[in-house]
Amino acid sequence: MPNLTRNFTGATVGSGKPRILVVGLGNVSHPGTRHSVGQQIVEALANHLGTTMTYDRSVNSWIAFATTTMRTRTPRNKKGKSSYIEGSEQEVELVMVKPKPLMNISGPAVSKAYKAHIRPAPLASTVIVIHDSLAHKTLQTSIKRGGSAGGHNGVRSAVDALGSPDFARIRVGIGAHRGDAATYVLENMSGTERSYWSSTEACEKILLDIETLVSDSAET
């Protein structure tokens, strides 16, 4: 088994496992809405990994810990087509976080969780925020490493509180809407969406996105 910190560069726990913070954004007061899909996903992910989220006053969030096995993935480009070379398997510890504050002011809770469980490891390889995206189709995800908040107030709050935009994101498609976006994101997801984002298939998709993001050479 290779050095566990060689390929996955997260913070390490006593066992030497890399540790990754996975934050689901949303409004606890509005479960099941499009804006809260990130929180639904981290809850489903915790259940999928055999654990449950419990409230931790010190970070003002619900939190769960789980160990899972991930495979390093090195990007390869052949004849203009991107693919990946699968590498060695390594155990990592996921710290799943569901902030209690409302979406637009959730950043301080994210920062507290980072300081409590991840720091001094760098944001880029240790923090992943899952949030809704109007720019992507429903039932789809898109990964992003750092950059602007893209108009998303929850992401902006995290950027402000962490003092950097360098953390990774998994953008969860909720579909475009021509009407008032603020109203649309606070409406309930369809039954199909709610069912899907709690499914084993969706959890495996999210784990694959996490795996890609935390590999040293992940292509975003």
What is residue 162's DSSP assignment?
A: H
| 177 has catalytic annotation | no
Distance CA 157, CA 145 (A): 17
Distance CA 39, CA 147 (A): 22
Q: Which of 20, 13, 16 is nearest to 3 (CA)?
A: 16
Distance CA 87, CA 39 (A): 30
Which SS3 state, helix, strand or coil, does residue 5 take? helix
Helices (H), ranges, the chain: 4-7, 37-48, 107-117, 153-162, 181-185, 191-196, 200-214
Distance CA 85, CA 211 (A): 13
CB atoms within 10 A of CB 11: 22
Which of 30, 35, 131, 152 does the annotation list as catalytic? 35
Which SS3 state, helix, strand or coil, does residue 164 take? coil
**Residues that are catalytic:** 35
